[in-house]
Amino acid sequence: MWVPKGGRRREMGLGAYPTIKLASARSRASECRAAIEEGKDPIAEKSKQAEPTFGECVDLYISSIESEWRNEKHQAQWKMTLSEAYCAAIRTKRVSTINTEDVLSVLKPVWLSKNETASRLRGRIERVLDFAKVKGWRTGENPAAWRGNLRNLLPKRQKLQRGHQPAMRYQDVPIFVERLRASYAMAARALEFVILTVGRSGEVLGARWSEIDFEQKLWSVPKERMKAGTSHTVPLSTPAISLLEKLHQHRISEYVFARTKDVPLSGMAMLMLLRRMKLLSVTVHGFRSSFRDWAGDETDFPREVAEAALAHKVGNEVERAYRRSSSLEKRRRLMQSWGDFVTQTSPSAK
């Protein structure tokens, strides 16, 4: 039994005989009395969930929030950054023991060389440790917090290299597309479509045949897959339509880029393809930057048209509403010029 100060008497069972032997019961009772002497509540202590390691806590946290993510790419990125690849030094440590030095041991090796990755890694560690605190496995300040903590120990991000994700020079994209076309992998077709439409990975990998209008040569991306939460219409160039027509002849799913009948291609498939092609400093998202540089350097299309092709917000709501109704044909010409350029059917696109 246990009687808290000013409270009522409470009783705590130690387990049923013969499952719990007498000697074991006496030992447990002794431990409970010792806890009471220290001012602890043995009933509350007993009900606590066993404290996990950092790696186990990562899995628990990801399971609790994965429904918030729009596609599996986010889950893959979280698992990758919080895996042995970056967090080997802390994954086996109990979450209550992780301190600022432990977090620094993870961040310092990549803080200067991969600042974008390091910044996201820090934020994810912070959220996992916040989760551990809410679950009762930690107390005190979060050692991965930036303000008042790591901010005083690591260079500020604005002093480090910043900018777009690593991108291929637009001059090299036609040769790369030629290499892609030599591959029969579905990931190669998806990446070629990313390049031709300058779409984001999630937009392309979730594409369904019902979104494709072959007659009008349009791809309608629903707002649920758009970063800005607004539906987006993509004019399809001749190379893009040709790619889709070939895939449509052998379709096995409602998804344009299907892994199986009911499952689209993995969010990491295109990145892994780039790595297999030994392109270690290029990202899938970077091809959007390649397109933007090409449009600015090699064409006379207005900036607003190029930004609209990338589904970027430009101007106020009134301006954007007007552009949605007036820029489709301009964007169609722009995307055809880009398609011609990357497939070298018309290198002098203007």
Instruction: Dump pLDDT digits (tens) for 135-144.
Output: 889 999 999 9
Q: Please answer whether residues 287 and 167 qualify as being in contact, where contact means their C-beta atoms are separated by less than 8 angstroms.
A: yes
Question: For 21-30, 90-99, 192-201, 332-341, which range has the lowest pLDDT when averaged over its residues?
Answer: 21-30
Mean pLDDT on 319-329: 61
Helix (H) or strand (E) holding 219, with range, is strand 218-221
Give the pLDDT of residue 344. Answer: 84
**Domain ranges across the chain:** 1-47, 54-153, 170-343
pTM for the model stands at: 0.56
Give 223-268 pLDDT, tens digit per residue: 888 887 888 999 999 999 999 999 999 999 999 999 888 888 988 8
Largest pairwise CA distance in the chain: 89
Give the pLDDT of residue 13. Answer: 66
Give 15-52 pLDDT, tens digit per residue: 556 556 676 677 777 777 777 777 777 666 654 557 89
Angle at 111 (CA atoms; ends 106, 117), nearest 5 degrees: 85
**pLDDT over 70, % of the chain:** 81
pLDDT above 50 for 55: yes
Find which of 65-74, 197-206, 308-317 is predicted with most confidence, using mean pLDDT: 197-206
Q: How far apart are CA 84 and CA 185, in angstroms?
A: 29
Mean pLDDT on 144-164: 73
Q: How far apart are CA 264 and CA 270, in angstroms?
A: 12
Give the pLDDT of residue 214. Answer: 96
Tell the residue number behind the tokens 């991965």, with chain if given. Answer: 144
Question: For 47-51, 66-70, 257-261, 300-304, which range has the lowest pLDDT when averaged over its residues?
Answer: 47-51
Question: With respect to CATH, is domain 54-153 assigned 2.40.10.10?
Answer: no
Topology, domain 170-343? hpI Integrase; Chain A (1.10.443)
